Amino acid sequence: MIRTEGLTKHFTQGKKTIEAVREVSLDVAEGELVALLGPNGAGKSTTLRMLTTLLPPTAGRALIAGFDVATDRDQVRRSIGYVGQGNGAGHNQRVRDELETQGLCYGMTKQASRDRTDELLNDLDLTDLATRKVSTLSGGQRRRLDIALGLVHRPPLLFLDEPTTGMDPQSRANLWDHILRLRREMGTTIVLTTHYLEEADSMAERVVVIDHGTVIADDTAVSLKAELAGDLIVLSFADEESAREAAAVVSQAWGVRDVDLTGTAVAVRAEQGDVVLPELLRLSESRGLRVLTTDLTHPTLDDVFLGLTGRSLRETSAHA
């Protein structure tokens, strides 16, 4: 559904050239749900703008549903739905009117547009809101309307740019229920950007991380967490001497990557923490070192992001 080869975008600022995106090569198969993550200024938004024909690439190539974003822009736009960060509907327009107008803009007949509007109003629980002005809708209702607008022409590919930003947890969960159900029923390919890493973790089949204009990771969330972060095991001891001795012992155990000693606590990064923890306890006790407490924490995508970029995605988002 998406194929990019060396996709590059440079901007000129005075005499300075800014490399916003550098040779991004990416493949997204039909029906996949892929999360595109990166700190602000990493090139994520510029990549999306090129894939949606809003910016021409400086170099490289991108195909959307087999159409070139540079030479087949009309065909690309007919193949995609795009839900941006801002609300797409006119504030003083009625919900039904906005959807029917969107259908007409894509060349549908009036009757076809009305039928598709009825279908989407029903699918996204907007039927009771059909005659309401957009300005009277709640944040969650507006986002559902935005998604309906992006789906009017039945695109095989849907871009969701931070679709749940600013929504309360209940509204976010409700919106995702609708998105996932529509995906199951329609087989839509979805590319998602989000700063809610738990969404990417639980919803996406693949996670692509962009930093400094380059793809630095591309895998499932499970694999990235296992390979790049690892589980965190913390063992506490009665005194610092015991902790120092234990740190030397457990560092030789299978699956252990890093060992950090802080006072009476030994922190261990390891693969398959559930398997490694009993072995660490056995090794410690075999040396007469009594473990007072243990704590096992599974990694998050933010841990992965921190390991890859040296910064937290939440921190960079809040700073921006």
Structure confidence by residue, pLDDT tens digits, 35-91: 999 887 788 889 999 999 999 999 999 999 999 999 999 999 999 999 988 788 888
Find all residues with CB under 8 Å of 247, minimum gap 6, and list them: 259, 261, 266
Structure tokens at 116: 């598709």
Domains of the chain, start order: 2-224 (3.40.50.300), 231-298 (3.30.70.100)
Using one digit for the tens of pLDDT, what is the confidence trace for 15-44?
898 899 999 999 999 999 999 998 877 888
Structure tokens at 287: 């040396």
**DSSP state string for 179-227:** HHHHHHHH--EEEEE-S-HHHHHHH-SEEEEEETTEEEEEE-HHHHIII
Find all residues with CB under 8 Å of 176, minimum gap 6, and list them: 164, 199, 203
* Buried residues in 114-143 as b, exposed as e (16+ CB within 10 A): eebbeebbebbebeebeeeebeebeebbbb
Asked if residue 102 lies in contact with residue 152, where contact means CB atoms within 8 angstroms, the answer is yes
Structure tokens at 166: 């600013």
How far apart are alpha carbons 112 and 100 in whole angstroms? 9
Distances (CA, A) of 26 to 30, 224, 263: 13, 17, 45
Q: What is the pLDDT of residue 90?
A: 87
More confident residue, 170 or 95: 95
Please name the residue that has the structure tokens 């040779």.
23
Whether the per-residue pLDDT at 178 is higher than 70: the answer is yes
Residue 37, judged by CB atoms within 10 A of its CB (0-12, 13-18, 19+), counts as: buried
Q: What is the pLDDT of residue 11?
A: 92
Whether the per-residue pLDDT at 241 is higher than 80: the answer is yes
Q: What is the CA radius of gyration of the chain?
A: 24
